[in-house]
Amino acid sequence: MFIGDGMGVATLTAARIYDGQQRGKDGASNRLSFETFPHLALSQTYSADGLVTDSAAGASAILTGHRTLNGALGVDDRVRRGDCASVKSSSVPTLAEMARRKGLAAGVVSTAAITDATPASLYAHTPSRQWQSDADLPPEAVAEGCKDIARQMLDGPKALQLDVMLGGGQAAFTPSEGTGKRLDGRDLTAEWRASGGAYVETGTAMAAVPKGTKRLLGLFAPGNMMRENARGATQTDAPRLTDMTVKAIEILSQSKQGYFLMVEGALIDKAHHLSLAHEALTETVELSKAVAAAVAMTDPKDTLIIVTADHSHGLTINGGMRDTSILGLLPGNDDDPAKAMDGKAIPILMYASGPGAPPVGELRPDLTDVDTADPDLRNFAAVPLYSAAHTGEDVATYATGPGAERVHGLMDHPAVFQVMREALGLPAD
């Protein structure tokens, strides 16, 4: 399962064009790796309490088969927001937990903190996605005996623990006396090593993990990992999404019973929230490369691969000629004027909301002499928000391999879970 966080249809279209243009090809006729998959559906993304889902509820629906409240993980709609006591009666098994109970291997890869909403939806059962370390727990949650998300990841029964966990979020696992956040003094990475698992913090170390390693934890940043443009510019020793995906498959495929792997392209969403369209497109292409690597390493006769999104974002594509950079401005023709009614250039990409909006009371800027290919450029947004809002339209779901034919038409997110459950031969919960 590949989840492009915030990877709506407009993002896919723009990334397809961007990818082709970057390689000197016609972007409009280009295809991302998974856009060649034979089966396609639209998936509904609403949560149990909202027309628009957040990542926690969206990923939980995909990975548990149950819709829940925005902000909750691994629970159904009986949970009460911020109420630990309600978790016991509302907790539902995740696909990874079901796979582990059957003896399959399971893993997660993300470019976000591994305790962030989407990766945490594989192993955490909590009324709040914010409780990533014990430092994030409110006093009443501590009094009720709540476990933070990082602790749930490494503190549960070994038989149900994930075999491979690769991403960011080191601070939630290590003590505040050092570089971490934990107030209980525990170093969960040391506990993982003591239990026989390998632990790495750099791309070089991950590449050097010996063949035959069965359990691997890799935490490559204190919080979210760097976006690819920044990682490349700084030459930071951290793996790319493709590197982590390949390593996870190498380890998990040793399981004779089979395996389940969830890979999240998390920084698509993180860039969209900041009105950074260039960065979001780059991260979408990175996800496409990871999918291509997975396809190359697996047998289509026995491996189901699904690519989808938890929700969409308010990116729009306003026009442009076939040879116009998707990051640029409308060149102008009979159908698309080069200037808007305010006399200023029209960007091809813009957002419905976000920090790219001009300051309150000011007019939008003239982009004519602006470098629109600058990765740090905040794209224009119509409604000023500190963080761009998710949007509620359906997202695309692509599938190939055994059971892929069940991905078609209009589906609910929980129905995508059922496709994976049946492909793995897991019983209904």
Catalytic annotation, residues: 55
CA dihedral sign, ordered 71, 73, 78, 80? negative
Both tokens assigned to 308? 């989808």
Task: Give backbone dihedrals phi and psi of 17, rounded to 5 degrees, phi first.
Answer: -65, -45
The H-or-E segment that residue 343 falls in is none
Both tokens assigned to 419? 């496709």
What is the rounded distance in angstroms from the CA atom of residue 29 to the CA atom of residue 129? Answer: 39
Alpha carbon 193 to chain centroid distance? 27
DSSP assignment of 348-364: SEEEEEETTSPPTT-PP
How many residues are given for the chain? 429
Listed in sequence order, the residues at least 6 apart from 194 whose beta carbon sits closer than 8 Å to its beta carbon are none
Listed in sequence order, the residues at least 6 apart from 316 whose beta carbon sits closer than 8 Å to its beta carbon are 10, 349, 350, 351, 352
CA angle 173, 269, 182 (to 5 degrees): 15
What is the rounded distance in angstroms from the CA atom of residue 188 to the CA atom of residue 178? Answer: 13
DSSP assignment of 146-190: PPPHHHHHHSS-GGGS-SEEEEE-GGGGSBTTTTS-BSS---HHH
Q: What is the residue whose two structure tokens read 């470019």?
A: 111
Task: Give backbone dihedrals phi and psi of 219, rounded to 5 degrees, phi first.
Answer: -125, 110
- Beta partners for 164? 107, 216
